[in-house]
Chain A
Amino acid sequence: MAIAILRRLAGAAPAPAFPAIGAGMRAAADDLFLDGRLIRADSIRHARILLVAGPVREADQDDIRRLHDQMLHPRATLWWKSNPVPDFAEPATCDEDDPVAAIEAIHRALIEGARDSEPDILPNEPPNPWRGKGDYGQGGEGMMGGTPYGRPMAMTDDDLRDGLALDAYTAPFGPFLPMLPPGLKLSVTLQGDVIQTAKLLRPPSAQAEAYDGTVTALRALGRFLPILGLEAHAVRCLEAARSLSAGKPIELAKIRQFLFWSGALAAIPSGIGMVEDTDVRMRVERWLAALDESPTGGLDGSATMSPLKPARLVDLLRGREWSEAILIVNSFDTDTLISLAPVEAEDAETEGRAREDGIRMDHEGHGTHAHGATGT
């Protein structure tokens, strides 16, 4: 009885979905989650539905599988304008422009038990086998080595900022983390939350978003503001971008005013992510300036779109704190970011290979969230 009531109530709740966004689908996915019938899950653990939007790159297929397995039961996957990755049994697909109805139907079926929860795809193995190893079965070796309890033993390392050598921690992040542009996968060595080194594993997927002054600026703000804790303002910007693309007039002055009072500009540290003499704050100011212009003409697109060869994203991130780094990454549009993130086929650095192995040992199983690898 109580369970039945609970189910009915839960069925009426918005469907928590986690978008794994592929090429060309970022704007569509952003617009999709403006719908009140959906909740955009910050973490795959909070989701019941994995929404794969757009084509999945070959390299990302394993990450999709891992992501899927990290989702908790009951769970389902919907392939929206996408090509189901092999190993997914009976994939549900949707090629309509608006998949909300399909997501809702799957969600309700899951809650009511009409649809079975999807089984694991990958074997459930720890990324670093540890059980039963070592003197106490903890996976460690001696006093300082091994992977005690599944985590590699952290070792002190030099620090970029203050010379206080603390434990460094290396893990891959991406390619579907919500606060990183879709497709971007980095291997990051952290000390505390200061990034000691970042290494590009995979560049962001191309989005082919045509430059359109105000709309581009609004979308960029919509992706940037949640990092500053301004989720509601972000919704306002994204909604304005959608209306504007549809040709509806909107009141831009109000958005500017709200953002002014939120202190968003003051919150951004100056001097970070410096590329061609503009830092993150200036780029955000540029978006704000674009709101003043007429919707179609607007600010000179080439200023923000020019390929920026000399700078590399990984260099911009070095020595930055995690949240500053996220601000930097999100202050570029996807095309600029791709030009900042050249793929290096062979790492020229001497220790490259060895370090790569060190990283693998770390967190290969955690994929997107560097999660505790339940499902992997």
Chain B
Amino acid sequence: MTQVLAIMVLPLFLLAGIVAAAVLDRAVPPLVAGRSLKASFVGPITVASSRAMGQTGATEHPDTISWILAPILYFTLAAIGLSVVPFAPGVVAADLDAGIVLWGACESLTVVAVFLHGWSANSPLPLIGAYRYVAIGLPAMLLSMFVLIAAALPAQSLAVTDIVEAQRSVWNIVRQPAGFVLFLMLGLSLSLRGPFDFADPYDLAGGTTAEISGAARLTWWLARLAMLVSVSAMTATVFLGGYLGPVLPGFVWLVVKTGLVLVVLVGAGEVFARLPPDRMMNLIWLALLPLSFLMLVAVGVELLLWG
């Protein structure tokens, strides 16, 4: 019964999140640019309808099936990833024992979806965006798995519900603050944003989106926002105690925390500079990955000694 409830809540949650993310996306850049703030719900809707009209674009012999399916796959992965997030005690769409492994599978398939999107256009700039993203996306995903394992250790379970319950005493953000930051970076990478937008950047004229327009671009845009919402909810659940919190009902807490992470991610996407791929790759492999090992060891030692 509660599972049915969760399955009904999930699309609404995703939809509300997408709207919120779209509004933030229009509100935050002017804020950073020091212009007058004009947050509106109408703005994103007009842009969306403008994109919905018009052709989708074509190139010489693209891989049509992958080109159409990649945005849909991306969106679906966002939804599947969100399905392991408990909205309230016991209310979860997919209460899997291996919840974070499913999330990990969504992460790795996201890399596949973005790659296919750029590759299938049969055009150089999208292709460069595609494999550049793979080069950064795979190690970013790798370190997120160490972070997630460190989050699963105290819960002694791979189920997301257990990870939330294990945070009743202390939130994981306290246990591994660096892990939280690393996971936020993964969020930027999964939603192709700011410092981690190696797939659709300006220097590639829109990268994997350089050849598309109309409905195809609209779907891609929605999928990116959906993934942003999904990863925000996951961050809130794994590091900020999810639905845990005093006074207010659990679902409200989750929404508040997800919104907070959403704001942080959108802000970080605008505020921080993107490293050229080569430097980013060195940073990830030589600094961030060892850091995630250290976090894992630290949590392990802590649990051995005081757990």
Contact = CB atoms under 8 A, between A and B. Distances in A.
Interface of A: 6-7, 9-10, 12-14, 16, 36, 42-43, 45-46, 48, 72-74, 111, 126-127, 149-151, 169, 171, 177-179, 190, 192-193, 226-233, 235-236, 239, 254, 258, 261-264, 266-267, 269, 321-324, 326-327, 366, 369-374
Contact of B206 (A9, A46, A127): A46
A373 B55 contact: no
Given A46-B213, A151-B122, A193-B132, A372 B58 contact: yes
A13 B50 contact: yes
Interface residues of B, number: 60
B283 to A, nearest CB: 10
Contact of B276 (A73, A169, A190, A323): A323
Q: Kindly name the residue among B38, B49, B270, B277 whose own CB sees the greatest number of chain A CB atoms within 10 A.
A: B49
B57 to A, nearest CB: 5
A72 B277 contact: no
A311 B62 CA distance: 40
A254 B34 contact: yes
Given A10-B50, A46-B209, A226-B203, 6 more contacts: A36-B38, A43-B211, A72-B213, A227-B202, A229-B201, A229-B269
A229 B206 contact: no
A43 B210 contact: yes
Interface in B161-211: 194-195, 197, 201-206, 209-211
Contacts of B56: 72
A178 B50 contact: no
Contact of B55 (A73, A226, A232): A73
B12 interface: no
A237 B34 CA distance: 10
A73 B59 CA distance: 15
Interface string B32-68: 1111001000100111011011111111111000000
A236 B32 contact: yes
A9 B45 contact: yes
Contact of B52 (A10, A14, A127): A10
B49 A372 contact: no
Interface in B274-307: 274-279
A285 B126 CA distance: 32
A236 B276 contact: no
A73 B62 contact: no
Contacts of B210: 42-43, 45, 369, 371
B136 to A, nearest CB: 12
Contacts of B124: 169, 171, 190, 370
B264 to A, nearest CB: 15
17 contacts: A6-B49, A9-B46, A12-B42, A13-B47, A14-B46, A48-B54, A179-B202, A193-B128, A227-B201, A228-B273, A229-B273, A231-B270, A239-B35, A258-B271, A266-B273, A323-B277, A371-B210
